[in-house]
A and B are shown apart, each in its own frame.
Chain A
């Protein structure tokens, strides 16, 4: 095999790219995984993961220099002294916002699999059938039965802990033992169940943190520092799970600092022949050839790569013949809910820092339940004992202050809603050829907003949160709406959606680009609707499924 020729090229090394590389390598293909940013080596490069709080100079808070360099990150929790360097450099990689859009990117090996929230939920047919039923977007080309065994497969390898609940809207999976609810959460859960006649449930979060040793990874140690990288490998990331599996085959080549500029397309065979990259360090251009290409650059960047490819055939790029490429951008809207205090648990406390919370699965627009909006939402949250340090402003001074601050405070219970955003064609990204990045490449302009359906849903999210907590005996319940900016959910989806018809979708039911069957897109870009649950587990399952299909088609000589 010549130096620049592989069986498969995977663009991106995050959650879905890591899965693509693992699956293709394990099936015997020689794989080149391209990553636009630096390498981050498992454990060795988790520089802050084992530091004590006093070893972090500003104790995690932001310096003015950080705020100046990362104005977008500064809009959210994402800017933090302990791991801000794992988010994309905003000066080198600018983007434009026609309407406000928080785009939080991880440009390094592992991508956002290193910083992700790890909540892992299956979709159900309630989600796969949603577009067909209410007419927004196009119908999914698949149903739950098509992906079920791939969820099994993804969960078994990734290691998802969770409880079996038998809920139709949130199917059970192949779980490791669940993490535990604390005493307050258990009581609130029991009351919610009773108050709503078992029609609402509060369960422990299903999370990609392992609770038993698994494939050489140690189980979660309850440190709750996942976003710094886990020295125990206790949460799923490219580095902890898919990368070592892919490397073990001897079939993987990883090339960091490789910005894919376009997919090379042969208009005679109507197939991709490889990719072109710019080396981000030396600015030189290279070409790599392969039989198949997996595009896993994250939803917006995957669409960007397609838009820049085969422009001699289609002005809007590869996959644009449907008129849908770059459209239908989705996310989850959130940042509102309710919280309050729980009385009567003064003799109880919490040992250990659980990197997980509770989950209240969707209960709206299910069965007989009808709301004045479409689709629905779930709540994430948790109970805990707060610190007296919250009351610092009013508290006294001296020994009295010192002692008061050294005792735990009230038990609190809070929930925050995460809701579905409909696939609106007009929510889109545009290639901006006038504004270039550090490498002279066109940038992305984002034009997305939530509309009436989401606004109506938000009102309901607040009032239901208040009612559920109040009914469960939570005191001093207050509601909040911190405001949602598109993208802040860090669940960008929909820019190259799957569908049944090449006229209205970019990908078919096997994640193949209709216009180039040896190109597969299996990250958030492929999503036809958003559901209300965290999407990464579905990317894993879809990627494994598409890789299986791709290799079988290759063997049949169809690609």
Chain B
């Protein structure tokens, strides 16, 4: 039941979202964390912008508003093992290089359209890699960024209360609650 299954437990805690959970459970084993990642303020800003491209501001705030860069840094520092930390940090460098090669400028200086196109290509790349890679191999760095962005955003106060519906103490149970297309999901506990 609910206390029995690791994934569903994490899912319950995360508001029904198994994002990251699978990754954390399979990807984080016993290796010791490598300590600080050595990210600079510029790196954190870049992560904010990457997060914002993944979950942009619409009629509700986006990932940048929940300081997603800092969240990613904390999660990678504390929760990732040394191997995955390296993938993440090297990935950020690769990201920077690629923007130079393909956009001929920094990601931060690119237009929203350029950013989206660039991020979309990276997403396609990680999707392809995830399909063929072995379970024991690390994820693509962009998948890490995407998972962390979704995790951090939808469990943040803004994500849970403004983008989703958050009810701290439901007080009752209705297992046949009316729903129409477009209604927001409940953020859970």
Is the pair B78, A58 in contact by a Cβ cutoff of 8 Å? yes
In this complex, the member of B15, B147, B163, B179 whose beta carbon has the largest number of chain A beta carbons within 10 angstroms is B179
Q: Count residues on chain B whose CB falls below 8 Å from chain A CBs.
A: 82
Partner of A347, one of B20, B54, B178: B178
Is the pair A76, B6 in contact by a Cβ cutoff of 8 Å? yes
Partner of A77, one of B10, B168, B175: B10
Interface residues in A53-93 by Cβ distance below 8 A to B read 53-54, 56-65, 67-68, 71, 74, 76-77, 80, 82
Is the pair B20, A61 in contact by a Cβ cutoff of 8 Å? yes
CB proximity of B182 to chain A, nearest CB, Å: 7
Please indicate the chain A residues that have their CB under 8 angstroms from the CB of B189 in the complex: 53, 223-225, 353
Interface residues in B11-44 by Cβ distance below 8 A to A read 11-21, 24, 28-33
Partner of A349, one of B11, B54, B171, B178: B178
Is the pair A119, B56 in contact by a Cβ cutoff of 8 Å? no
**Complex CA distance for A513 and B173, rounded to whole angstroms:** 46
Interface residues in A270-310 by Cβ distance below 8 A to B read none
Please indicate the chain B residues that have their CB under 8 angstroms from the CB of A349 in the complex: 177-179, 183, 186
Is the pair A224, B32 in contact by a Cβ cutoff of 8 Å? no
Q: Is B116 an interface residue (CB 8 A)?
A: yes
**Complex CA distance for A200 and B123, rounded to whole angstroms:** 47
Please indicate the chain A residues that have their CB under 8 angstroms from the CB of B116 in the complex: 397-398
Please indicate the chain B residues that have their CB under 8 angstroms from the CB of A405 in the complex: 150, 154
Contact-residue size bin, chain A (C-beta under 8 Å from the other chain): 35 or more
- The proximity string for B residues 96-116 relative to A, scoring 1 for CB distances below 8 Å and 0 otherwise, is 000000000000000000001
Is the pair A408, B13 in contact by a Cβ cutoff of 8 Å? no
Is the pair B170, A416 in contact by a Cβ cutoff of 8 Å? no
Is the pair A59, B14 in contact by a Cβ cutoff of 8 Å? yes
Is the pair B2, A335 in contact by a Cβ cutoff of 8 Å? no
Please indicate the chain B residues that have their CB under 8 angstroms from the CB of A77 in the complex: 3-6, 9-10
17 further A-B pairs in the complex, CB-CB below 8 A; given A222-B172, A357-B2: A53-B155, A57-B74, A60-B14, A61-B75, A64-B28, A64-B80, A74-B30, A180-B175, A182-B176, A348-B177, A351-B172, A393-B126, A393-B130, A397-B119, A401-B55, A402-B58, A407-B181
Offer 11 A-B interface pairs, CB within 8 angstroms, sorted by A.
A52-B166, A179-B173, A221-B170, A224-B188, A349-B183, A389-B18, A397-B53, A397-B123, A405-B154, A407-B182, A407-B184
